Amino acid sequence: MQVSLETTSGLERRLTVGVPAQRIEDEVNKRLQQASKNVRLDGFRPGKVPFKVIRQRFGEGVRREVIGEVMGQTYQEAIMQEKLRPAGQPSIEPKQLDAGKDLEYVATFEVFPEVEARDLKETTIERHVAEVTDEDVDNIIEIFRKQQGSMQEVERAAAEGDTVIIDYLGKKDGEPFDGGAANDSSLELGSGRMIPGFEDGIVGLKAGDEKTLELSFPEDYHNDDLKGAAVTFDITVKAVKEQVLAPMDESLFEQYGVTEGGEEKFREEIAGNMKRELKNAVTASVKKQVMDAVLATYEDVAVPKALVDQEIKAMRQQMFQQFGGAPAQGLDLESLLPAEMFVERAEPRVKLGLVLATLVSEYNIKPDADRVRETIEEIASTYEDPEEVVNYYYSNQEQLNAIENRVLEDQVVEKLQEQLKVEDKACSYQEAISAGQAANAN
């Protein structure tokens, strides 16, 4: 077998492989000989069909089959001989297939980039430092009480935070415009759902009051016809409702899983959950900063297009499923969700994966079994039967691998933090949570 290798551009390689004709012919003859023992043709006894007839009848089909298999085998032999690490499947183009002549084909493919561990000592990241205070717990309890509370109609004037039931009609140059009218519309004052000035203009009105608001749409409004336009809204208030909080009683506590221990246990459970959320948020924020630092440090590392395409395909399928989609025959997801939607996020993901794989090998990191167990148990704790969930993860290799990869990634991040400069930043609970949410959103 003859092999020649050339670099066409960046990570792309081209292998030209030549296979002696004898290797093809020997395998073809071998298969035809085996077939001749069982072939049945009219006019011949079983096993007595002349080999010449066998070759004439089946030789071309067997030869095509052998050539396909030999190209696959010799491609693997060639990449091992040249010590190559292909990324994705090759494009194989036959050059010489004539019988009696050496087989020749060209395989074009991308290889994984060579990545070496680099120093991140000059990078500084922030670590949020916060505590869960009694006031933070009170704020969460108020949210819970609102969720379980009710809206009660009142006779007084509307204030911010109230919900009003209104009819409204919007006009531009004295004429109604599309989308500018509604009847019995429910609106929470202060929610920011309407254009600036709309909700403020209703504050102070009571049920039965009417008012005309003179407003302007924002310059960046999504409707070109209304950008910056001066308009009026005729408002009729039909009802004013205020939020009535659910009482702090056993019924409320049970809604959130506390069946005994009263208010003290309720607050204790909430505080415990908030502390876990705080820890996870701080970890997520630090992890995001470390990953950003890695991407910046390895900015020049090229990524194989084949791997980016694979990542785009996975992201497309994930998005489709998140919006309630299910695999459907004949559905063209590529047109529905074009690659341009994902490429900006897919390329950094692929690069990060390649770099982290290098660092795992460089630092000889293995998934910590105790941390894997702890992670699974933490996930399971949110379910009604935690033990059943734990058993599920350990009996499903795919799910277990996902958790191990997650733990492995966290271990790499912790290893990298030893190199980085980490500055603690005091902040409130909500600021730390918001930073964690922003990190998880990316």
Q: What is the pLDDT of residues 93-104, one digit of tens each?
A: 999 888 889 999
If 0-12 CB within 10 Å is exposed, 13-18 middle and 19+ buried, where does residue 310 land? middle
List Cα–Cα distances, 121 to 231, 290, 361, 418, in angstroms: 57, 12, 20, 9
> What is 218-245 written as a DSSP string?
-TT-S-TTTTT-EEEEEEEEEEEEEEEP
150-244 CATH choice from 3.40.50.2000, 1.20.1250.20, 3.10.50.40, 3.40.640.10: 3.10.50.40
Structure tokens at 183: 């009847």
**Residue 441: predicted pLDDT:** 80
Strands 421-426 and 124-129: parallel
DSSP class of 3:
E
Q: Which tens digit of pLDDT belongs to each residue from 182-199?
A: 999 999 999 999 999 999
Categorize the per-residue pLDDT at 319 as very low, low, confident or very high, splitting at 50, 70 and 90. Answer: confident
**Residue 1: predicted pLDDT:** 85
Mean pLDDT value across residues 412-424: 91
Categorize the per-residue pLDDT at 341 as very low, low, confident or very high, splitting at 50, 70 and 90. Answer: confident
**Residue 322: predicted pLDDT:** 73
Q: Which tens digit of pLDDT belongs to each residue from 216-274?
A: 999 999 999 999 999 999 999 999 999 999 999 999 999 998 989 999 999 999 999 99
- How many other CB atoms sit within 10 Å of the CB of residue 378? 12
- Rounded CA gap, 389 and 376, in Å? 8
Closest CA to 152 of 244, 222, 70: 244
> In degrees to the nearest 10, what's the CA dihedral of 70, 76, 78, 81?
-140
**Where exactly does CATH 1.10.3120.10 map onto the chain?**
124-130+275-441
Domain 124-130+275-441: state its class. Answer: mainly alpha
- Rounded CA gap, 225 and 290, in Å? 45
**Where exactly does CATH 3.30.70.1050 map onto the chain?**
2-111
Categorize the per-residue pLDDT at 134 as very low, low, confident or very high, splitting at 50, 70 and 90. Answer: very high
Report phi then psi at 42, rounded to 5.
Answer: -60, 135
Structure tokens at 343: 């490429």
Categorize the per-residue pLDDT at 340 as very low, low, confident or very high, splitting at 50, 70 and 90. Answer: confident
Closest CA to 126 of 299, 296, 287: 287
- The CATH number of 2-111 is 3.30.70.1050
**Where exactly does CATH 3.10.50.40 map onto the chain?**
150-244
- Rounded CA gap, 158 and 175, in Å? 28
